[in-house]
Homo-oligomer: A and B are copies of this chain.
Amino acid sequence: MSKLVIVGSCAFDAIETPFGKTDKIIGGASPYIGLAASHFKNVSPAIVTVVGEDFPQEYLDFLSERGINTEGIEIVKGGKTFFWSGKYHNDMNSRDTLATELNVLADFSPVVPTNYKDAEIVMLGNLQPSVQLNVIEQMNNPKLVILDTMNFWMDIALEELKTTLKKVNVITINDEEARQLSGEYSLVTAAQKIHEMGPQYVVIKKGEHGALLFHNDEMFYAPALPLAEVFDPTGAGDTFAGGFAGFLAKSGNISFENMKNALIYGSCLASFTVEKFGTERLAELTGDQVKQRLHQFKQLTQFDIELN
């Protein structure tokens, strides 16, 4: 088994879309990343996160049953789980945050389970950069550190983020964040500037427009699958990251050529997440369904111009 350490928030989400609304369901970055990675049979993902005493045992069981190690999920006695609530607009591309209650996440001090300190791949979901750095420092020389972050940390903790980035191999951010972090409008130039901050690989997520992978002078583009209907976009980016990290852990090959495949896997798994509320679709996903959709990605992107 290939160990994969996943750090990220764990939350109750209450989501409203034009199609309906949910009560408090399991959310946050780490469940999406973990569920996506758990799709790969020879990968053993461990989630490192914190929840409150209000977090139901059935949610922990739900993760365990899918092969996710939960030893690193700290349960704070008397504490309340991080809560997020949001409402998507009709175009599904913008949303209003209705509530963000950090609760136990505010004092999160991650502890990587001893048995996972030798994992070769670490996936750091969006969190305070100093917490992400703390996790890196607990690891025994991992082969690949992947970090997701967002504009919020660029606004309030830029130097901390830059310090953390020096220890990171792959960064995943969206296009606007790449522009903010680099001060460059062109994504090609932005990726070059971000390379110089540390990460040898830069993944720029463009939502419905797919994702770009940059490495030195090389580029790869994974489209998002065009869908007739997006039901709930929550967790798509985290699923993408989990599919990317999980595929690399599965194959044990972190070459640029194999990262292309990892990017396609990430985009493929993310295309399922948006079909239902929260983690519902991801949790019920079968291998055959994934294979069929990967076939769609091939149809969508492969062409046969002869270059001789």
Contact = CB atoms under 8 A, between A and B. Distances in A.
A301 interface: yes
Nearest to A221: B223
Interface in A280-308: 291, 294-295, 298-305, 307
A187 B92 CA distance: 13
The number of chain A residues touching the other chain, given as a range, is 35 or more
A183 interface: no
Interface in A260-285: 260-261, 263-265
A185 B91 contact: yes
Contact of A299 (B185, B220, B230): B220
A212 B209 CA distance: 11
Contact of A307 (B298, B300, B303): B298
A304 B300 CA distance: 14
Interface string A200-238: 000000100110100000111101001111100000000
A157 interface: no
A188 B298 contact: no
Interface of A: 90-91, 185-189, 192, 206, 209-210, 212, 218-221, 223, 226-230, 257, 260-261, 263-265, 291, 294-295, 298-305, 307
Given A188-B227, A291-B307, 9 more contacts: A91-B185, A186-B227, A187-B226, A189-B228, A206-B209, A218-B299, A219-B226, A223-B223, A260-B304
CB-based closest 7 A-B pairs: A209-B209, A188-B228, A260-B303, A221-B223, A261-B305, A188-B226, A221-B300
